[in-house]
Structure 1
Amino acid sequence: MTSTLLTTGARDRAPAAPAAPARRKRSRAWLAALPLFAFAAVGFGTPALAMLTGAFTVKDPATGADSFSTANLTTSLHGPYLTALLGSVKLSAVSAGIAAVLGLLLAQAVVSFGSRTLREAVLTGSGVLANFGGVPLAFAFVATLGNSGVLTHRLGLADAGWSLYSFWGLTLTYLYFLIPLMVLTITPALEGLRVQWREAAQNNGATKAQYWRHVALPVLAPSLLGGLVLLFGSAFAAYATAAAMVGSSVPLITLQIADAISGNVLVGQENVALALSLDMVVVAGLVMAVHLPLQRRSARWFV
């Protein structure tokens, strides 16, 4: 009987044996990821540390001595710098809101059509257009809708008061890459809406509008808000397109950072650009803090 108990006890303890190999595999996985962590620490950590240190460092114009102070941050939140920060937030919010609505409608039209060829063509084109920006995009819009643009002359837009080098002109330009980005973001969520949900709503007497109001939109809400936040961050960080097209006619924080880096600041305010960059990092951090929970919440419905 004793041998039987020992045998039974051995069988009960047997499944615990693979725990050690599993721990060794996890430790090897961490070792394999060390080069990535080291690269991230050097590529992102070092600039972030330099930016954080410089944002709180002030140089005395008389002695040239450095000291830690919040003067740079205070300067970055007053006067033209604050105007530029608010201008970037306004431009990003408006362009992201318009792009979210238009991108949702376009993605829904593609999904409802049901053609795989059309879907692949639209998503491929959206992937290309979402990454098309900078000076080439600015040149394309200037040649088309600028003061001497083709459409400006043919449609008489100048007589109607149209100006590409304005807030709304820049908003229109940003929509060129924000709408495709929204299509890429929201299409998987639209495809995740199950047919059974629509059929159940119809069987219970719901109209199409009621289905979208009470079923589809609540399910899509986290994905929609996440896409909106993503578009806001993309527009907020854009620089080359605005710099090449509007210059300083539209106040943006990215353009103010470029001016400060080039030395267009008062003596003793050399690190204002780093303070402005820190302001952008804070805004981007808030955007990511909103985006990540929404992304996790939306993933629960589409598994």
Structure 2
Amino acid sequence: MLGIAKRALGTVPFFAYVAIFLITPTLVVVVGAFAGDEGGVTLANVRALGQGYILDAFGRSILLSASTALIGAVLGALLAYALVTAKPGGLLRRAVTAACGVLAQFGGVTLAFAFIATIGLSGFVTVALNDAGVDIYSGGVWLFDLPGLVLVYTYFQIPLMVIVFLPALDGIRPQWREAAESLGGTTWVYWAKVAGPLLAPSFLGSTLLLFANAFSAYATAAALVSQGSPIIPLQIRGALTSEVVLGQANVGKAMALGMIVVVAVVMTLYALLQRRTARWLG
């Protein structure tokens, strides 16, 4: 009995962390989404989610997340496959994996500044291209709008895909390919009939994880977009901090509740796909 108590004591920091940083903020959002400005319970905040500008922000957030998840998943999977074909434990694989671990967490003001300094209006690449007669902003300043967010988000989506998809590729046994070849199967048959179906759940699950990662990202967009609120995290910021339109704090919490619902659905699908993948990885 004493041993069980000691083991349970070791989990206290973890559960304290979950309670303080996950459960408590979620409860604040849920309660605030149904709270009136003068107290009491109301559905007005949730009904406000049907307003055009909020629906547009949700739509752009979903478009941003889906496009960067798909681009990051495809390019990241190709890079992960290249690493699998490299020497196991070799310098190249260890270096690229370590770099991906760092770049997947590289965001916020630092990442926004890096892109502004590189391809901003006065960035060194932009200036060099202008000197060569190429104007990348001839159609408008796209870096500080949705297309720019797609480019910047893809930067950290690709290394994240490498990290989460690499174990699935490592789980593919060389003997399976040898068996397919011994039975007369071509490379196309092997990927279409053996490796493809086995990797599909992990690939789809990793893509969903990338979607949730982009959908919930805030700091990079907040640092890059100074005018307007094209995506829902920035709309929430405006509702909570605006000095022009007051009394929108609970509407902002309702928008946050909408984000929680979307992420919860996506992560549930991710967990189901990961459970299926674990059957053959194990």
Q: For residues 28 and 148 of structure 2, what CA distance do their matches in structure 1 show?
A: 36
Poorly superposed stretches of 4+, deviation over 4 Å: 23-28, 264-268
Q: What corresponds to 1:71 in structure 2?
A: 44
- Tell me the CA shift for residue 42 of structure 1: 3.5
Q: For residues 57 and 177 of structure 2, what CA distance do their matches in structure 1 show?
A: 46
Q: What corresponds to 1:198 in structure 2?
A: 177
Matched, 1:33 2:11: yes
Count of aligned pairs: 276
Q: Deviations over 1:165-190 (max 9, x none)?
A: 23222111111111000001111111
Q: What amino acid does structure 1 have at the position aligned with 2:233?
A: T
Q: What amino acid does structure 2 have at the position aligned with 1:104?
A: A
Q: For residues 249 and 148 of structure 1, what CA distance do their matches in structure 2 show?
A: 21
Q: What corresponds to 1:208 in structure 2?
A: 187
> Does the CA-based 8 Å contact 2:240-2:248 persist in structure 1?
no
Q: For residues 50 and 213 of structure 1, what CA distance do their matches in structure 2 show?
A: 48
Write the mapping of 1:1-303 to structure 2, written as runs, cut at 5 A: 25-26=3-4, 28-59=6-37, 65-114=38-87, 116-155=90-129, 156-158=134-136, 160-161=138-139, 163-249=142-228, 251-264=230-243, 266-303=245-282
The 1:247–1:267 alpha-carbon spacing in structure 2 relative to 1, beyond 3 Å, is closer
Secondary structure, aligned partner of 1:164: helix
> Does the CA-based 8 Å contact 1:95-1:175 persist in structure 2?
yes
Q: For residues 253 and 189 of structure 1, what CA distance do their matches in structure 2 show?
A: 33
- Tell me the CA shift for residue 249 of structure 1: 4.5
Q: Deviations over 1:36-82 (max 9, x none)?
A: 334422433222222211110112xxxxx322111101112322111
- Tell me the CA shift for residue 25 of structure 1: 4.7
Q: For residues 24 and 191 of structure 1, what CA distance do their matches in structure 2 show?
A: 41
Q: Which structure has the bigger radius of gyration?
A: 1
Secondary structure, aligned partner of 2:36: strand
Query: Gaps (5+ residues) in structure 2?
Result: none
Secondary structure, aligned partner of 1:57: coil
- Tell me the CA shift for residue 220 of structure 1: 0.6
Q: For residues 236 and 204 of structure 1, what CA distance do their matches in structure 2 show?
A: 45
Secondary structure, aligned partner of 1:193: coil
Q: For residues 271 and 265 of structure 1, what CA distance do their matches in structure 2 show?
A: 16
> Does the CA-based 8 Å contact 1:247-1:255 persist in structure 2?
no
- Tell me the CA shift for residue 157 of structure 1: 3.5
Q: For residues 42 and 185 of structure 1, what CA distance do their matches in structure 2 show?
A: 27
Q: What amino acid does structure 1 have at the position aligned with 2:74?
A: V
Q: What corresponds to 1:17 in structure 2?
A: none
- Tell me the CA shift for residue 31 of structure 1: 4.7
The 1:39–1:241 alpha-carbon spacing in structure 2 relative to 1, beyond 3 Å, is closer
Secondary structure, aligned partner of 1:238: coil
Secondary structure, aligned partner of 1:271: helix
TM-score when normalising by structure 2: 0.91
Q: For residues 126 and 42 of structure 1, what CA distance do their matches in structure 2 show?
A: 29
